[in-house]
């Protein structure tokens, strides 16, 4: 898991070849207000989920991991609270949905992190996480980078 400011995105390009494209798209589109939904980036395996919703609090946040995608969660407006825990063999899965690349877990997070506007997190497949754990309105772009 990585937490950083969008101005430092280049520092992370070397971690995975798809991160450069994702961050360049997020920076180019981040100042434009888009309706909620999914955007497929043409000519790429990258897609972006646009989220315009209120935070659900810690108890309402889904605890999840992805096997086929890296999540970049870029908070454009508001502040989110996200959780993290390293995925290990002792964790109890509620099941994996391959079509949605979504696995839910029963355990509770080890930590919660406040992510203000202008900042992003990167969650790799070994990072169990939740988002939308704060309160109040949020505008986020969540880039889904193929592993």
pTM over 0.75: yes
Other C-beta atoms closer than 10 Å to the C-beta of 80 total 25
Query: Domain spans of the chain?
Result: 2-146
- Residue 44 pLDDT class (50, 70, 90 cuts): confident
Q: Are 21 and 46 in contact (CB under 8 A)?
A: yes
Confidence of residue 46 (pLDDT cuts 50, 70, 90): very high
SS3 state at 47: strand
Mean pLDDT confidence for 100-122: 93
Mean pLDDT of 1-20: 97
Domain 2-146 has CATH 2.60.120.370: yes
CB 121 within 8 A of CB 72: yes
């Amino acid at each position: 898991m990585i937490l950083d400011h969008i101005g430092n995105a280049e520092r992370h390009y070397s971690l995975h070849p798809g991160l450069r494209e994702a961050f360049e798209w997020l920076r180019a589109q981040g100042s434009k207000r888009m309706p909620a939904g999914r955007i497929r980036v043409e000519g790429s395996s990258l897609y972006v989920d646009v989220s315009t919703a209120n935070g659900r609090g810690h108890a309402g946040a889904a605890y999840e991991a992805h096997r086929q995608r890296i999540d970049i969660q870029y908070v454009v407006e508001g502040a989110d609270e996200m959780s993290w825990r390293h995925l290990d063999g002792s964790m109890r899965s509620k099941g994996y949905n391959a079509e949605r690349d979504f696995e839910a877990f029963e355990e509770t997070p080890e930590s919660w992190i406040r992510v203000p506007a202008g900042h992003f997190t990167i969650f790799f497949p070994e990072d169990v996480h939740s988002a939308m754990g704060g309160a109040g309105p949020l505008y986020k772009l969540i880039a889904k980078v193929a592993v």
